[in-house]
Amino acid sequence: MEFLYAIINFLILCAILFVFGRKAAAKIFSDRLERVKRGLDEAERAEGEAESDADLPKIPASFSDALPESVLCETAAIRSRAEEEAERIRNRTEDTVTSLRREMLADARDRLIDAVCEKAAAMMAGEPYRSAIRAKEEQFADEIVRRMEITPGDIAYLKRHDVLYVTLTSAEPLPQSIVDRIGERALAMLEEVGGKPSYWVREDPELIGGFRFRVGDTVYDFTIKDRLYQLRRELENMPLTGREDAEALVRQAAEAVSSMTYGMSEFQLGRVLSVFDGICWMDGLADIMYGEVVEFENGERGMVLDIEADRIGCIIYGNYAKIESGTRVRRVGRIASVPVGEAMLGRVVDPLGRALDGGGRIFTDERRPIECAAPSIPDRAAVSRPLHTGIRAIDALVPIGRGQRELIIGDRQTGKTSIIVDTILNQKGTGTICIYVAIGQKDSAVMEIRDRLRQYGAMEYTTIVCAPASASASFQYIAPFAGAAMGEYFMYRGQDVLIVYDDLSKHAVAYREISLLLGRPSGREAYPGDIFYLHARLLERAAQLSPENGGGSMTALPVIETQAGDISAYIPTNVISITDGQIFLDSDLFNEGQRPAVNVGLSVSRVGSAAQTKLMKQVSSRLRMDLAQYRELAGFTQFGADVDAATRRVLESGRRMMAALKQKRYAPLPDWLQALVIFAVSEGLAADVDPGDMEAWSSLLAARMAEKYPELLNLLKLGGKLSPEEREVLKRAAADCGSAMKDEAA
Ligand code: ATP
Ligand code: MG
């Protein structure tokens, strides 16, 4: 029964829910429908309004005339700036694309050259080439008979060894008539110079085809092997623009092969006598020149550094493990050189100009010899333009001029490299190209400098030539010369260059190592006698060229590390006497917290003050005297002597001035801002500033002046001498800013 009631209750509930629920659901749906309809109506109305907006009257063309001139100018300027920027980005992107293309094409070309040479060798080893070569044998024999000569070098060899080797080597047996004809002429020549008859005839299938005749060191070569060598050189030296496609590369190679003529090459050959520690002794190569490049059989190269009566010494550039006594050496016929050009900027390279930064191969069209004569006196002009380092202590007291050589000297860890990095940073926006040559530094230190320069956007105009401590002595030896060649490229094009050799003490040590290995007599401190000449000829290349020669300049900042402040050691005295002044960094000052630790007494610039701005000269003239006076008094009073009020005043202001010369790293200051602070301090405006707060005070003063007296700062920027009235105005303004700062602090 209960069950029946439950069913009836349930049915009643269902009926109620059906009646009321249907009503509620219908209401909800009708609300929604209403809202959607409203939305659609609104949208339709808005669309109608928008359409009617199009009917607004057009802005008349004369409207722009009503705008103020300044708005139009500003708009035009913004537009042209945007266009310039877009153009710059377009160019940069294009450069990147070109260099990527070149890189990939160069790889492809290397493989193509291998394949082409292999194919050419196989082809020329067979018919009909062999018969063609055989048909020319008579003609070549005539040419050899005509050109054959015994050089003075050969005669010297003959006198020493009593014999001169004459050899005829062919790929396959030669007709007897040719062998005899060449032999007769050679023996007649030998007789003329008093040599024994020594004529050998050999066969060597490796020559593939043709023959080669050798008298003493000179080789007259008609072989296929030599042709293939020449073909490879030619293909490797073909310029790549980056626009070639695969067909163009193949066409280039095919053209080179088809234009290959079967002619004679004449060169001098030598032989390795011994090789050790990157040094190689050779004989032969009678007419070789100092500094010339030689090529070993395995493709490695070296540079001649020593020519003795019966042997020639050279340094080997790369890996010398595969070179052994008996290896053939060939003259390349040019002095050692490095690639130069715009493409070197922003890169870290080794002393042969090869990329070390993983940024891909560097493609340049020009090379310069690493050793070259310095500009002569008539080609130079007087040093007259300043090269601002951005460091107060240097620009005010030991100013550097463009084209000058200024030595940076000090013990280890006294901030030598920091000064250089700041100077490079300060060249930003001046159009000066910077070359940083790192010799014997740690790899990590060089990479840190690179990162720092990149961080401040200075790598764009800088090349780092890196011969780290881990590199061979030969690399360390040639690094500064390679850097100088890269700098000269820009100097002779009329640009300004700053070159830094960090450091020449390690360069001297590398040269000493090479010299001792070459068996040269050692002199003072075991350095060879020509170490002075080595650094003199390097630094002599820094110059300010005359306007007729383009007016470019190269300023050199060599670095020398001293031992316990001893500037009278051999290498420091040498370089001090070569350069036009030195910035001496004192480790005592450094440890006292005076950074940069420039010792004002021992530092000097012999030409730079001629290049200082008139303003800087005016404001810093008293500074040097005052500091000298301070140093003298400070020396006396450090024993705790009782001093009178006047002396105390001098000491106080001296201390303040020294504090004003302190400067943080990576914060180079413009010249006129330096002048302002020095002016303020030497006028006694910082009399009650604590020496410890001087650095903060100087930057605050500069900021305050820029805010309150911008017109006075503009006057300073002109760099001219201040008239007494201008001095007074500046003094009052600086005093005003100073007292305002004091009030704020209080
Ligand atoms: P090395 O003999 O090893 O080549 P160096 O003489 O080139 O040394 P730096 O490497 O330039 O000296 O500097 C040595 C240390 O001095 C650095 O660690 C740097 O932090 C500090 N230093 C240099 N100049 C300043 C400066 N102006 N302000 C603060 N610290 C500095
Ligand atoms: Mg250093």
- Report pLDDT digits (tens) over 624-637: 888 888 888 887 77
**Is the beta carbon of 442 within 6 A of some atom in ligand 1?**
no
- The confidence score (pLDDT) of residue 57 equals 57
In which element (H, E) is residue 464 found? strand 462-467
Q: Which residues are catalytic?
A: 606
Closest ligand to Cα 666? 1
- The Cα 6–Cα 282 span in angstroms is 121
- The confidence score (pLDDT) of residue 733 equals 84
- The confidence score (pLDDT) of residue 58 equals 62
Instruction: Tell me what percent of the chain is helix, strand and coil, each rounded to the nearest 5.
Output: 55, 15, 30
- The Cα 436–Cα 408 span in angstroms is 14
Where the chain has pLDDT below 50, the residues are: none
- The Cα 525–Cα 543 span in angstroms is 31
578 CB-near residues (< 8 Å, 6+ apart):
405, 532, 535, 536, 539, 540
Residue nearest to atom 22 of ligand 1 (CA): 415
pTM of the predicted model as reported, rounded to 2 decimal places: 0.83
216 CB-near residues (< 8 Å, 6+ apart):
150, 151, 153, 154, 157, 158, 164, 165, 166, 284, 286
Distance (angstroms) between ligand 2 centre and the Cα of 596 equals 13
Intra-chain end-to-end CA distance of the chain, in Å: 100
> CA quadruple 7, 11, 12, 17: dihedral positive or negative?
positive
- The confidence score (pLDDT) of residue 69 equals 75
Distance (angstroms) between ligand 1 centre and the Cα of 562 equals 15
In the numeric block, the tokens 């070993």 are attached to 296
Distance (angstroms) between ligand 1 centre and the Cα of 73 equals 48
- The confidence score (pLDDT) of residue 404 equals 96
In the numeric block, the tokens 């310029």 are attached to 239
**Centroid of chain to Cα 682:** 40
- The Cα 399–Cα 362 span in angstroms is 36
- The confidence score (pLDDT) of residue 296 equals 93
**Is the beta carbon of 664 within 6 A of some atom in ligand 1?**
yes
- Report pLDDT digits (tens) over 699-729: 888 888 888 888 888 888 888 888 888 888 8
- The Cα 208–Cα 575 span in angstroms is 56
- The confidence score (pLDDT) of residue 462 equals 97
Alpha-carbon distances, residue 721 vs 84, 409, 725, 728 (angstroms): 37, 32, 11, 13
Longest dimension (CA), the chain: 151
Hey, what amino acid is at 72?
L
- Mutation to probe ligand 1, out of 394, 407, 412, 413 (largest number of atoms < 8 A from CB): 413
Distance (angstroms) between ligand 2 centre and the Cα of 546 equals 33
- The confidence score (pLDDT) of residue 3 equals 62
In the numeric block, the tokens 């050798």 are attached to 214
Residue 37 tokens read as: 């309809």
- The Cα 103–Cα 105 span in angstroms is 6
Distance (angstroms) between ligand 1 centre and the Cα of 470 equals 22
Question: SS3 of 205, please?
Answer: helix
**Is the beta carbon of 417 within 6 A of some atom in ligand 1?**
yes
- The confidence score (pLDDT) of residue 63 equals 63
**Is the beta carbon of 414 within 6 A of some atom in ligand 1?**
yes
Hey, what amino acid is at 689?
V
Residue nearest to atom 17 of ligand 1 (CA): 415
**Centroid of chain to Cα 208:** 44
> CA quadruple 284, 287, 292, 297: dihedral positive or negative?
negative
Say if residue 725 is exposed, middle or buried (CB neighbours under 10 Å; 0-12, 13-18, 19+).
exposed
Give the nearest ligand 1 atom to 421 CA.
11
Contact criterion met (CB below 8 Å) for 293 and 303: yes
Q: Half-sphere exposure of residue 578, counting CA atoms within 13 Å on the CB side? A: 27
- The Cα 575–Cα 503 span in angstroms is 11
Say if residue 7 is exposed, middle or buried (CB neighbours under 10 Å; 0-12, 13-18, 19+).
exposed
